[in-house]
Amino acid sequence: MTPTTQPIQAACAEAQALVRQVLTDYRPSLTLREMGEVQSVRPGIARVTGLPGVRADELVYFPSSKPGGTPLLGIAFNLDPDEVGVILLGDSPDLQAGDRVYRTERVMDVPVGEGLLGRVVTAMGEPLDDRGPLNFVERRPVEHEAPAILDRAPVTVPLQTGLKVVDALIPIGRGQRELIIGDRQTGKTAIAIDTILNQQETGVICIYCAIGQRSAAMAKVIATLREQGAMDYTVVVVAAGQDPLGLQYITPYGATTMGEYFMEQGRDVLIVYDDLTHHARTYRELSLLLRRPPGREAYPGDIFYLHSRLLERATHLSPDLGGGSLTALPIIETQAQNLSAYIPTNLISITDGQVYLSPDLFQKSIFPAVDVGKSVSRVGGKTQLPAYQSVAGDLRLSYAQFQEVEVFARFGTQLDEQTRRTLERGRRIRAVLKQRQSEPLTAAAQIAILFAVTSGLLDAVPLDQIDQAQAHLAEAMHRDLPDISAAIHQGQPLTEADLKTLAWTLSQALG
């Protein structure tokens, strides 16, 4: 034996001793797994047999039958006596009849945690922003029971959108469900994004959930959020229009689960669903492929439950549970201003009010194109900052009277002086309620502008100079009246002395 072979033989002896030890301690065991077989495959779904113990909404696993292929997950959706209808959660070019399928004995879940802030992800938890793997705390099921009535608290804190027309006339509270509804290309997403941008100093966590949107539109939204510094407190959950139907179906539920994690920690969360029209159509397509009985407009019978179980999870928790809130802003698209269509009426009945965007106002370059007459907030009025009620209490009525008088004024009839003043005041109210995109205003700046227009300080200002006047008013409010501004943000009402000081300061700012 040469000196060079001694270490090799010693290593071999050590390895043999280790193998003998492992074989001595090894106790073989059997693992029971339910295995089924794929019977047929269609776009987005598969029909399988041989899974007698599978449960509703359970994940099933399709291993790839081709070398180097990608395995696939699906959700057991239809539990028929002879077969199981499965919603596929990915592309299935390699899946075919005869392939095997296994139970996973778990439901669909998503990652949650602080590490998701600033990230762009799918509902499966896959990052889309090239920033490495996600840093999450745990995974939670996408479907979760809504809080019980006794676990909820009244909606008492306002959610400022930064838009004068919404905060003054259609206020939203934290924990409310406010529907944004309107025809295509009327600025629905713009209102939601402006609301997210306005939460920069409020501590509200924001989640933007895109369902079935074009990739170019989503890229534009993400770029806006990054440019404005809003991604630091925002999670973007994406299911593009070209993604599988199953992924689009579970995306809003997964995004809500991500938001509930922060709500249970006592924090306030805002979630935007853009939009639920695509979600309803996706569900209809899946249901028809699975041969579920169609109902009105070919939607399945449980289409109402599809969105009610989603939006009921938005609430304000009681103090015993941390006092967190989840505010939902679902977006819905109408056709030809038809508010009585099936899906819009379903969502209107579920939510606590709606912000209606009119294509007629949009064509007149009135942005945001909010129709005040058809918009309502059934909860937010109780949460509105008291200062708004002091300066804009009669604003809705005055604006409605102006719109009615304006119709008759078009006929060229002679108008008395009071009617002329109503028209001039109304035109300035309409000009004041206009607002550029991505330029939200603080509550104090809004109060200054609304007080000026309702008290007549802007009556002498030409319409083409209203924007400049508003800038002067907002600047004067923050520069000259810091105490009143702080009192407004703290929820204190304006006293008579405050109103007099406000009137004098703003009149000086207008020259």
> What residues contact residue 302 under an 8 Å CB cut-off, 6+ apart?
none
**Per the residue annotation, which of 20, 55, 378, 420 is the catalytic one?**
378
Question: In angstroms, rounded to a whole number, what is the distance separating the alpha carbons of residues 445 and 474?
Answer: 5
Cα three-residue angle 498-504-505, rounded to 5 degrees:
85
Task: Pick the closest to residue 333 from 244, 216, 237, 217 (CA basis).
Answer: 217
Cα 409 to its chain centre, rounded Å, is 41
Asked if the peptide bond before residue 368 counts as cis, ω within 30 degrees of 0, the response is yes
DSSP bridge pairs for 239: 211
DSSP bridge pairs for 330: 273
Helices (H), 177-311: 188-197, 215-227, 245-264, 276-289, 303-311
CB atoms closer than 10 angstroms to residue 457: 21
> What residues contact residue 424 under an 8 Å CB cut-off, 6+ apart?
459
DSSP bridge pairs for 357: 182, 370
Question: In angstroms, rounded to a whole number, what is the distance separating the alpha carbons of residues 124 and 36?
Answer: 24
Report residue 87 as tokens: 């919603």
Q: Active-site residue 378, yes or no? A: yes
Q: 371-389 in b/e burial notation, b at 16+ Cβ within 10 A?
A: bbeebbbebbeebbbebbe
Report residue 77 as tokens: 């959706």
**Catalytic positions, please?**
378
